[in-house]
Amino acid sequence: MNAITLFDYWRSSASYRVRIVLNLKHVPYTRVPTSLLENEQKAPAYVGRNPQGFVPMLSIDGHDLTQSLAIIDYLDAQYPEPAMLSSNPADRAKTLAQALIIAADIHPIDNLRVLRYLKDEMGQSQEAVDAWYRHWIIEGFTALENMAPEDGLFGGDMPNLADVCLVPQMANARRVDTPLVQFPKLSRIDAALTALPAFIAAHPDQVKPD
Question: Got the DSSP string for 154-186?
Answer: TTBTS--HHHHHHHHHHHHHHHTT---TT-HHH
- pLDDT over 90 (residue 26): yes
- pLDDT over 90 (residue 1): no
Give the mean pLDDT of the chain: 96
Homologous superfamily, domain 5-82: Glutaredoxin (3.40.30.10)
Taking a C-beta distance cutoff of 8 angstroms, is the pair 174, 190 a contact? no
Helix then strand then coil, % of the chain, to nearest 5: 55, 10, 35
Report domain extents, the chain: 5-82, 89-199
- pLDDT over 90 (residue 166): yes
Summarize pLDDT for 38-79 with one digit per residue, the tens. 999 999 999 999 999 999 999 999 999 999 999 999 999 999
Per-residue pLDDT at 210 = 77
Of 12, 8, 9, nearest to 171 by C-alpha is 12
The top-level CATH class assigned to 89-199 is mainly alpha
pTM: 0.95
**Which band of pLDDT confidence, cut at 50, 70 and 90, is reported for residue 180?**
very high
Per-residue pLDDT at 108 = 94
**Which band of pLDDT confidence, cut at 50, 70 and 90, is reported for residue 143?**
very high
Taking a C-beta distance cutoff of 8 angstroms, is the pair 16, 171 a contact? yes
